[in-house]
Amino acid sequence: MNNDVSQIVDALEQEAVLFLQQMVQIPSENPEGDYEEISRFLKEKLSQWGFEVEMVDVPERDVRDAGLTGPRKNIIATINGETEGPHLLFNAHIDTVPAGDPAHWTHPPFSGEIADGKLYGRGATDSKGRLAAYAMAALALKKSSVPFSGKISIVATCDEETGGQLGAGYVANNKLVAGDMVIVEGYSNQIVRAMAGVLQLKIQTEGVPAHAAFKWKGRNAIEKMAKVIEELQKLQQALEKEPSSVTGMKHTTVNIGVIEGGTKINVVPGICEVEVDFRIIPEHTLDGIYHRVVAIAEKLRQEDPEMKITIDRILSFETHPTVTSEESPLISLIQEANKEVTGQSLPVVGMLGQSDARWFIQNGIPAINFGPGTNDNHLHGYDEFMDIEDLMRTTKVLAVLLKNYVGKQDLIEDQV
């Protein structure tokens, strides 16, 4: 009889590393999003480990309506306790950003090579490393002698890197999972309880094209846009004076990410366009920030009668800020387990990124971001890696959390 899940995790290290290597060796870059091989592998592997596995195929009509091609697949794998009880979900995504030019990688991006205690490859942390930890923590509990109640589900979803609408969004919105709480991909050195909203705008200034030798016959759209950019910079300065009360979130940010304008150097440009990304703290609303930009446009029109501006919201990735209370029992469970494994507490923060946590929160399931890896692991960059020691330590934390949450404590204590 063994109810020490930490020891079981130690015994599973070789299997955990191999599992992560095998996932990294299956490309699942998004775009375009080819999930056939990775979803089939996960179904077979998790079934071998004793999970009840369901492969969820998104209907072709929904894929077409989203402007996508190719099957969208999600995996829900569950282990059941002896009796009814709490249901804890783990969510990580199976897609990755593109690897880019392999020549820039020290270790080939789909090799899963190990060097100096690190496993390299696209998705090694984001988010196949998280998925490996979640699955192995549940497997460790299953292999232990700890009796438990309720359910543990691994929810491996597609398309997170492009918004998650047909991944976690599809699973959560269609009530295909309904847990009490969910741990979503995150970092091992902090607990993330809040994430920023996202507002993206396309702003266009319209001019009148003319030959550069007769510039006065035209109206320069780029020069008009320069005034817009100057006002957006002033808006950023104002927002910096409106800090968030959530540790780590700082303030709402304004990022001019794309600018296009003009056709030729000797032509007065008739059109200029920028795309602007706002990361919005919980104290602000998407509509509130949008109306501040609309007010900027109106101000510029009043100052310059020749100013023609249009503002369009890019709705495909628009999302509101999400916040889970500092009093969430899931935070307490993670802290308790982390102290048991490492002797330390973790900072509880918010961040200006976004994740699939929002889909669960919007459907009434409290979510916290936590998992192996840190933001120093070259996520989305060349030579992405997972530190194996971090992977196994975090898996222990998660296994202890499971023991504490779904384990029948009276029976566990009798066995000690």
pLDDT at 19 over 80: yes
Which residue, among 151, 165, 76, 152, has the nearest Cα to 362 in the 3D structure?
A: 165
pTM of the model: 0.91
CA dihedral 262, 265, 268, 270 (to 10 degrees): -10
**pLDDT digit string, tens, across residues 118-166:** 999 999 999 999 999 999 999 999 999 889 999 999 999 999 999 999 9
Strands 87-93 and 151-157: parallel
Contact in structure between 304 and 296 (CB atoms under 8 Å): no
Predicted local distance difference test score (pLDDT) of residue 415: 36
DSSP letters along 334-378, please? HHHHHHHHHS----EEEES---THHHHHHTT--EEE--S--TTS-
Please give the Cα distance from 183 to 153 (Å, whole number).
Answer: 10
The conformational region for residue 293 under phi > 0 = left, psi -120 to 50 = alpha, else beta, is alpha
Mean pLDDT of 24-38: 96
**pLDDT digit string, tens, across residues 326-362:** 999 999 999 999 999 999 999 999 999 999 999 999 9
Q: Which residue has the tokens 């999970």?
A: 51
- What kind and span of H or E run contains 290? helix 286-303
Can you give the length of the chain in residues?
416
Mean pLDDT of 64-70: 92
C-beta atoms surrounding 414 within 10 Å: 9
Contact in structure between 162 and 349 (CB atoms under 8 Å): no
- Determine the distance from the C-alpha atom of residue 71 to the mean position of all C-alpha atoms in its chain, rounded to a whole number: 21
Domain boundaries, the chain: 5-195+322-415, 202-317
Please give the Cα distance from 151 to 180 (Å, whole number).
Answer: 10
User: What's the mean pLDDT when you consider all of the chain?
Assistant: 95
C-beta atoms surrounding 410 within 10 Å: 8
Mean pLDDT of 40-49: 98
Contacts of 196 (CB under 8 A, 6+ apart): 249, 252, 279, 280, 281, 282, 321, 350, 351, 352, 353, 354
Which residue, among 133, 213, 193, has the nearest Cα to 391 in the 3D structure?
A: 133
pLDDT at 14 over 70: yes
Q: pLDDT band for 408, please (50, 70, 90 cuts).
A: low
DSSP state of 180: S
Predicted local distance difference test score (pLDDT) of residue 414: 38
Predicted local distance difference test score (pLDDT) of residue 3: 62
End-to-end CA distance of the chain: 10
Contact in structure between 208 and 270 (CB atoms under 8 Å): yes
**pLDDT digit string, tens, across residues 169-226:** 999 999 999 899 999 999 999 999 999 999 999 999 999 999 999 999 999 999 999 9
DSSP letters along 216-277, please? GGSB-HHHHHHHHHHHHHHHHHHHTTS--SSTT--S-EEEEEEEEE-S-TTEE-SEEEEEEE
Q: pLDDT band for 413, please (50, 70, 90 cuts).
A: very low
Measured CA to CA in angstroms, residue 406 lies from 178, 342, 399 at distances of 16, 21, 11
pLDDT at 411 over 80: no
The CATH H-level superfamily of 5-195+322-415 is Zn peptidases (3.40.630.10)
Measured CA to CA in angstroms, residue 245 lies from 75, 278, 283 at distances of 37, 18, 8
Measured CA to CA in angstroms, residue 112 lies from 89, 195, 383 at distances of 27, 30, 11
Strands 181-184 and 87-93: parallel
Predicted local distance difference test score (pLDDT) of residue 2: 52
Which amino acid would we find at residue 364?
G
| Bridge partners of residue 153, in order along the sequence | 78, 89
Fold of 202-317: Alpha-Beta Plaits (3.30.70)
Predicted local distance difference test score (pLDDT) of residue 317: 81
Which residue, among 219, 226, 170, 108, has the nearest Cα to 360 in the 3D structure?
A: 170
**pLDDT digit string, tens, across residues 221-244:** 999 999 999 999 999 999 999 999
Q: pLDDT band for 407, please (50, 70, 90 cuts).
A: confident
DSSP state of 58: P
Predicted local distance difference test score (pLDDT) of residue 145: 85
Predicted local distance difference test score (pLDDT) of residue 240: 98
Q: pLDDT band for 316, please (50, 70, 90 cuts).
A: confident
Predicted local distance difference test score (pLDDT) of residue 416: 32
